[in-house]
Structure 1
Amino acid sequence: MDDWKSNPRDKSLLRLTWSDDFEDLYTLGSDIYIHIFSQFPACKTLFPWIPKYEAEGKDFTDGPEFRAQALRFVQTISHVVENVYHLDRMEGYLYDIGQRHVQYASRGFKPEYWDIFQDAMQAALTNRMNTIPQLGMEDRKRAIMIWRDIALYIIVHMKEGYNDGLKGINRFPVELIM
C-alpha cells in the first residue's frame, strides 16, 4: 500500500467513489454486515440483540441496534477516506479499534473474524463501484483495486491492535491516537 499512498490519481478516484450521504453510508454498512451474517452466521453471537429479534420472529436489520452498528463501521471507513492524504495518522486510530475488540473475545470474537470483515468490506465496496454509472471500465477496475487496498489497510491495523491487545501490549500511547 505504500506506493498507492503516493499516487494522487488514485486518491482522487477514491474520493470520487466515496459518498458521505447518510443513506449511502447506511446502505454500505448494512451490505457489509448482511454479507458477514449470510456467509458466517456464527458472527451474530457477537451482537446480543440479534437473538432477541430472531426469537421474536423479527428482522434484526430493522432494529436501531443494527442501524447504529452499520453506521459505526462505515464511520471508520469514512475517517480513513477523510485522512487519505495523511494515512500515517490513521494507524493508531485503527490499532486502537482493534485493541478495543479484545473485550469481545468473551462473546466469541475470533482472530479470523478480521478476515471475514475484510472480505465483506471488499464485496460491498466492489458492488458499490459497479453501481457508479460515471465510472468507465478502467476507472471502475482501478477503483475496485483501491478499495481492496483500503479494506486491507484498515483490517491490517485493526488486527495488529487486536493481537497486541490479547498479549497486553499497546504500541500507541493514548495521546497519539486521533
Structure 2
Amino acid sequence: MTARTPTEIPSTPEDKKLMEKTWSEEFDVLLTLGSDIYNNIFKNMTACKRLFPWVIKYEDEGVDWKKSTEFKDQALKFVQVIDTVVWGIIDGEKSVPYLYDVGQRHVQYASRGFKANYWDVFLDAMQYAQDQRIPKMTTLTAQEKLRAKQIWHDVAAYIIKHMKAGFFDGQKGVDRYAEK
C-alpha cells in the first residue's frame, strides 16, 4: 500500500462530520482497532516485537501474547493517540505539539531497536486497519465509504508525519516546542 501524504488534515465541515461518524468511542471497537494495527505491524515487521519485551517473554513461554493485558494496554494507548487527534481536528485544535512529543518519546526506544523506517510500518498498519473497518459500516453509502478511507489515510499520514518530526528532532537533541 502506498501512503498518500496530505497537504492538510480534514478541514471541511463535511469531512469532519464523516470522520466523526466513522470514529467510535466504544471500548471494544477501540480495542479491536488497536489490536488490528499491532497485529499488522508485527506481521509485516516482526522486528518490531523487540520493542515490547513482554511479547518475546510470552512467545518464549508459549503463551498467546494477543490475549495479554500488556497487549491490550498497548493497543489502547495507540488508539488514544488517534482519539486525541480526531477530537482535536473536529474541535478545530491543532494536535501537532502532542504528536511531536509522542515522536520525541520514541527516541528512548532506539536502544530496543526502534528504527526510523518503523514509522512507515505504523502508517501502513493504521491505514490497513481502517480500510478493513470502514467497508463494514452499514450506515455509510459507497461514496461515503470511499471518502472515509481517504480521510483516514490522511489522518494516519498526519499523525505519522508529526511523530516522525519529533523523533528525528529528538535524535538530534532538538525540541521545537520546548519552552525557552
Change (3 A) 1:87 1:2: farther
Letter of the aligned partner of 2:157 in structure 1?
L
In structure 2, distance between residues paired with 1:157 and 1:64: 29
In structure 2, distance between residues paired with 1:68 and 1:4: 27
For residue 30 of structure 2, what is the aligned residue in structure 1?
25
8 Å CA contact 2:134–2:149 kept in 1: the answer is yes
2:109 counterpart of 1:104: yes
Q: Report the identity percentage.
A: 51
8 Å CA contact 1:101–1:162 kept in 2: the answer is yes
Hey, which of these two has a bigger chunk of helix by percent?
A: 1
Select which of 32, 36, 51 maps to 2:41: 36
In structure 1, distance between residues paired with 2:179 and 2:65: 35
For residue 54 of structure 1, what is the aligned residue in structure 2?
59
In structure 1, distance between residues paired with 2:92 and 2:62: 43
Secondary structure class of the residue paired with 2:23: coil
Q: CA deviation at 1:4?
A: 5.0
Q: CA deviation at 1:14?
A: 0.1
What stretches of structure 2 of length at least 5 have no aligned partner? 1-5
8 Å CA contact 1:96–1:158 kept in 2: the answer is yes
Say which structure, 1 or 2, has more relative contact order (CA 8 Å, 6+ apart). 2
In structure 2, distance between residues paired with 1:171 and 1:3: 20
Change (3 A) 1:174 1:86: farther
Change (3 A) 1:69 1:20: same
8 Å CA contact 1:61–1:67 kept in 2: the answer is yes
8 Å CA contact 1:80–1:87 kept in 2: the answer is no
For residue 13 of structure 1, what is the aligned residue in structure 2?
18
2:138 counterpart of 1:133: yes
In structure 2, distance between residues paired with 1:76 and 1:87: 16
Q: CA deviation at 1:42?
A: 0.8
For residue 171 of structure 2, what is the aligned residue in structure 1?
166
8 Å CA contact 2:9–2:89 kept in 1: the answer is no
Q: What are the superposed Cα offsets for residues 6-45 of structure 1, whole Å, 9 maximum, x if unpaired?
A: 3110000000000000010000000000001111111100
Letter of the aligned partner of 2:76 in structure 1?
L
Aligned pair count reads 175
In structure 2, distance between residues paired with 1:87 and 1:109: 32
Q: CA deviation at 1:5?
A: 3.7
2:128 counterpart of 1:123: yes
Q: CA deviation at 1:87?
A: 5.6
**TM-score normalised by L of structure 1:** 0.94
**TM-score normalised by L of structure 2:** 0.93
For residue 95 of structure 2, what is the aligned residue in structure 1?
90
For residue 146 of structure 1, what is the aligned residue in structure 2?
151
Q: CA deviation at 1:96?
A: 0.1
